[in-house]
Amino acid sequence: IFLSSKTRMKVNSTLSYFILGAYEHVGNLKYLYFMLTAMLYIVIVIVNISLIVVICMNRSLHEPMYLFLCSLFVNELYGSSGLFPFLLVQILSDIHTVSAPLCFLQIFCLYTYGGVELLNLAVMSYDRFLAICYPLQYNTLMTFNKAVIFIAVIWFYSFVKFLITLSLNIRLTFCGSIINSLICSNYLVVKLACSDTQVNNIYGLFGIVLTILVPLLPILFSYMRILKICFCGSKQTRQRAVSTCTPHLASLLNFSFGCFFEIIQSRFDMTNVPRLLRIILSLYFLIIQPLLNPIMFGLQMLIQTF
C-alpha cells in the first residue's frame, strides 16, 4: 500500500493520463448539453468557412484587410477544433480522463490559437492605422505581399513560442493527475509536477510578456495615432475611423476580457463562484470570440461591399 519515494517517482514518470475534475455527473442532461455544444460548433464552423469562401471567391476582396480577416477566421476554426470535439467527447463520457499526449496537444492548440488571435488583431490595428492616417499611400505601404509576410510571421512566431512551452512540459515528472478544469490548462498541468519547474515558470513569465507586450505595442501606437487624426481631422475622417475600427476594437476588447477571465479562473480560488459562471468564464474566449468575430466583421464586409 505504501510506496517508497523512489517507487512513486517511477510511477509518476510513466503517467499516461489526466483526470478532468471539473465535470460533474448530470445524468440524462448530458445529451442536452451535447446537442447544444454540437449546434454551437456547427454554427461556428459554418459562418467562419462561409466568410473564408466569400473572401477567396470575390476578387474585389483580395486586399490586405480581408486577407487579415481570412487569417482571423482560419484561426477561429483552428481554436474551435481544439476545443469543441474534445468537449463533445467529455460530455458523453462517464469517466472524464484524457491521455497525456492528447492533453499536451490541446494545450498547444489552444495557446497557439490565443497567440495568433492577439497578434492578428495587432496587425489589423496597424493596417487600420495606415488606411486612416495615410489613405493615399496605403496601397504602397501595405501591399498584398507584405500582408502575406505578416500573416506567415504571426503563425510561425506563435507556433515556435508554444512548441518550446510544450517541450518543457513533456519533460516534467508528475505527482498528480487531477486537473480542476474542463479542458487541459498549461498552468494547472505544470502545478501537478513534482520535478523542478523553475525553467517552466521562468519561460512561462517570459512567454506571457512576449504574448502580451509584442501585440500591445502596435495596438497602442496605432490607436494613439488614429485618435490624434480623429481629433485633428474632418468629420468625414472621424466617421470613417469609427466605422472601420469599431468591429476591431469590439473583437480586441472581447478577447482581452476573455483571456483575463481565464487567468483569474485558473490562478485563484473561485469555489464561492457559482459553477455555471465558472464554466462560462473558463471557456468564454474560446466560444464567444469565434462566434462574435464572423458576425461583426461579416456585417462590416456586407456594408462595405454594398
Q: In this predicted model, what pLDDT tens digit does every residue of 136-170 receive, in sequence order? A: 899 999 999 999 999 999 999 999 999 998 898 88
The C-alpha atoms of residue 233 and residue 227 are separated, in whole angstroms, by 10
Instruction: Specify the CATH number of the domain 26-305.
Output: 1.20.1070.10
Q: What is the pLDDT of residue 7?
A: 38
Say how many residues make up the chain.
306
Q: What is the pLDDT of residue 11?
A: 38
* 164 grid coordinates: 518550446
Q: What is the pLDDT of residue 1?
A: 37
Every domain of the chain and the residues it spans: 26-305
Which pTM value belongs to this model?
A: 0.88
The C-alpha atoms of residue 271 and residue 275 are separated, in whole angstroms, by 8
Ranges of residues in the chain whose predicted pLDDT is under 50: 1-13
Q: DSSP of 171-213, one letter per residue?
A: T--BS--EE-SSS--HHHHHHTB-S--HHHHHHHHHHHHHHHH
Q: What is the pLDDT of residue 49?
A: 95
* 216 grid coordinates: 500591445
- Strand intervals (E) in the chain: 17-20, 97-99, 178-179
Number of Cβ within a 10 Å radius of residue 123: 23
SS3 label, residue 269? coil
Q: What is the pLDDT of residue 151?
A: 96
| Residue 175 · residue 192 · CB < 8 Å | yes
Number of Cβ within a 10 Å radius of residue 153: 12
* 260 grid coordinates: 483575463
